[in-house]
Amino acid sequence: MTKIKRRTFVGLAAATTTALSMPSIAFGALPRVVVIGGGAGGATAAKYIAKDSKGAIDVTLVEASKRYYTCFFSNLYLGDFRAYGSIGHNYYGLAVNHGVNMVHEWALSVNNAAKKVNLGSGESISYDKLVISPGIDLKFESVNGYSAEAQSKMPHAWKSGTQVQLLKNQVKGMKKGGTFVMVPPPNPYRCPPGPYERVSMIAHQFKKSNPTAKIVILDPKNKFSKQGLFMEGWQKHYPGMIEWISAETHGGIKKINAATMEFETDLDTFKADAASVVPAQRAGRIAMNAGVNKGDWCPIVPASMQAQADENIYVLGDASIAKSMPKSGFSANSQAKVAANHIRGSLTGSKVFTPRFANTCWSLVATNDGIKVGANYKATAEKIDKTSGFISKTGEDSNLRKATYEESIGWYSGITSDMFS
């Protein structure tokens, strides 16, 4: 059987349980990699391991969703700059172009000693190397009064999908001249500029159809990502609409009430007509189950992204402690390529190159007003260390801001193509 035929067969067999029960017999001595989570970390890792090994490694990607809605650019959907369908992607390219065995199930648990992943269906898959890239879980209890039940009244919308659609509907339907309350999460969390880009996009909606509406940000922090740039943009595009209240000013959110839409702080009790509450976060549960976490997040070996607790497991993206990289899709994609190169090297003896990490985060403040922050990183013994970086400047020319926005559109097209095709 030729390599092409074999890879085609694996692709066609995607998502069937037959493929799960037979691999060690059908594919003989091929080393096996299982990837849990099909986002920016996991999809990229699965693709690069399969693509670069040219059939020498059997790659299975376990991802419950058949259609994946990116968190990045979900704010642009809120602001009507993107259609919902345009942030959804499927795994056809990974299965068909790269022979990744797609298993659309939940990974329930990891048996480290037996090197097996147990699935929701009761099946299990063996691995030689396991990549865990589960993203975040929300710590609902971190905000007193918030819960999985309350999320439909005050959407967190921090994992894209239906929650973002719901939030947009609530923003558009908010009463004229009403108040929107945004509660950003405490550090560390997925997408540091995200809550403030979200506020910008909601303000953009209000400016069009509800110009007397107000937005109050009750922040558990005293400063935030790209603060000067956002503050300048809010003043310029949405004067008088947005009030950011720092933790030291409001003294902490004591309690929220989803039924009455009230936010109790030391400073005052705020009544909202619509709201978004993004609680504190931790690594996806499967990482805890695999025992590769230390507290809420997973320590990694900077040069390879291997879990410090288990050399056969790699942890990518938001779930990892990849200090000083932020938790972003770009970071996860960058880390995935480092891990893929290391995994391939350890399983097939291919060359392992010096790890190179990078990140850039673009945010949209208003129409054609894009800003960005980015950095290069290298692995040291202790951490993924920043070696150089940049950030947009206040007072930049409008043509540059427009070019930055257009660059972000290009990046979205690039990274999603890199992940899924």
Can you give the binding site for other proteins, defined by CB under 8 A?
48, 52, 330, 333-334, 337, 341, 351, 353, 356, 358, 360, 372, 374-376, 387-390, 392, 403, 405-411, 413-415, 417-418, 421
Which of residues 112 and 368 has its CB atom nearest to other proteins in the complex? 368
Q: Are 221 and 186 in contact (CB under 8 A)?
A: yes
Query: CA quadruple 136, 304, 362, 50: dihedral positive or negative?
Result: negative
Q: How far is the CB of 299 from other proteins (least distance, A)?
A: 25
Which of residues 130 and 373 has its CB atom nearest to other proteins in the complex? 373
Q: How far apart are CA 114 and CA 219, in angstroms?
A: 45
Instruction: Characterise 95 by phi-psi region: left (phi > 0), alpha (psi -120 to 50), beta (else).
Output: alpha
Which of residues 209 and 390 has its CB atom nearest to other proteins in the complex? 390
| Angle, vertex CA 302, rays to CA 296 and CA 308, nearest 5 | 55
Query: CA quadruple 19, 21, 27, 29: dihedral positive or negative?
Result: positive
Give, as one character, the DSSP assignment of residue 294. B
Which of residues 269 and 390 has its CB atom nearest to other proteins in the complex? 390
Q: How far apart are CA 231 and CA 237, in angstroms?
A: 10
Q: How far is the CB of 286 from other proteins (least distance, A)?
A: 25
Exposure string (b/e) for 191-204, b if CB count within 10 Å is 16 or more?
bbbbbbbbbbbbbb
What single string gives the DSSP state of each residue in 77-115? Answer: HHTTSS-GGGGEEESHHHHHHH--EEE-S-EEEEETTTT
| Angle, vertex CA 168, rays to CA 419 and CA 80, nearest 5 | 65
Which of residues 323 and 378 has its CB atom nearest to other proteins in the complex? 378
Q: How far is the CB of 416 from other proteins (least distance, A)?
A: 9
Token pair for 348:
């097939």
Amino acid at site 417: S
Q: How far is the CB of 62 from other proteins (least distance, A)?
A: 23
Q: Which of 381, 363, 391 is nearest to 323 (CA)?
A: 381
Q: How far is the CB of 94 from other proteins (least distance, A)?
A: 14
Which of residues 180 and 411 has its CB atom nearest to other proteins in the complex? 411
In this structure, the number of other CB atoms found within 10 A of the CB of residue 353 comes to 11
Which of residues 210 and 392 has its CB atom nearest to other proteins in the complex? 392
Which of residues 268 and 406 has its CB atom nearest to other proteins in the complex? 406
Q: Which of 344, 364, 278 is nearest to 75 (CA)?
A: 364
Q: How far is the CB of 14 from other proteins (least distance, A)?
A: 22
Q: How far is the CB of 189 from other proteins (least distance, A)?
A: 22
Q: Are 234 and 200 in contact (CB under 8 A)?
A: yes
Q: What are phi and psi of 48, to 5 degrees?
A: -70, -35
Q: How far is the CB of 170 from other proteins (least distance, A)?
A: 31
Which of residues 72 and 270 has its CB atom nearest to other proteins in the complex? 72
**Cα 32 to Cα 39, 121, 126, distances in angstroms:** 20, 20, 7
Which of residues 5 and 351 has its CB atom nearest to other proteins in the complex? 351
Q: How far is the CB of 417 from other proteins (least distance, A)?
A: 5
Q: How far is the CB of 246 from other proteins (least distance, A)?
A: 28
